[in-house]
Amino acid sequence: NAGVTQTPKFQVLKTGQSMTLQCAQDMNHEYMSWYRQDPGMGLRLIHYSVGAGITDQGEVPNGYNVSRSTTEDFPLRLLSAAPSQTSVYFCASSVTGGFRGGYTFGSGTRLTVV
């Protein structure tokens, strides 16, 4: 049981490049979310999903796309990277969406946009 797996762990992009951050969970959790963490600002919700085929925007969705074709995977796409997207990105999953159990987080992807 690997929990929540994020790849890559580190990435450097040039401004304007696109890429996909991968997230997979093996706990059969319905709820999955993407957060970004910036110094002094806690974690901010980018996009989330309450099940396969269902996604919705969080607090800071601009510049990011998501899709949820399977229960296990929830990739995050950066369409055209900007320096403001330099951050640490966390994927999380939950069986109940935070009620009765909370979210399990991956170990993060550290992204630098130059």
Partner 1 sequence: GQQLNQSPQSMFIQEGEDVSMNCTSSSIFNTWLWYKQDPGEGPVLLIALYKAGELTSNGRLTAQFGITRKDSFLNISASIPSDVGIYFCAGQAGGTSYGKLTFGQGTILTVHP
Q: Are 33 and 58 in contact (CB under 8 A)?
A: yes
CB of 68 to partner 1, least distance (A): 13
Q: How far apart are CA 47 and CA 24, in angstroms?
A: 15
Verify binding: residue 13, partner 1, rule CB under 8 A: no
Q: Are 110 and 9 in contact (CB under 8 A)?
A: yes
Mark the segment that binds partner 1 (CB under 8 A) among 16-24, 32-40, 66-74, 76-84: 32-40
Q: Are 88 and 108 in contact (CB under 8 A)?
A: yes
Verify binding: residue 26, partner 1, rule CB under 8 A: no
Sites of contact with partner 1 (CB under 8 A) = 4, 31, 33, 35, 40-45, 48, 50, 58-59, 90, 92, 94, 97-108
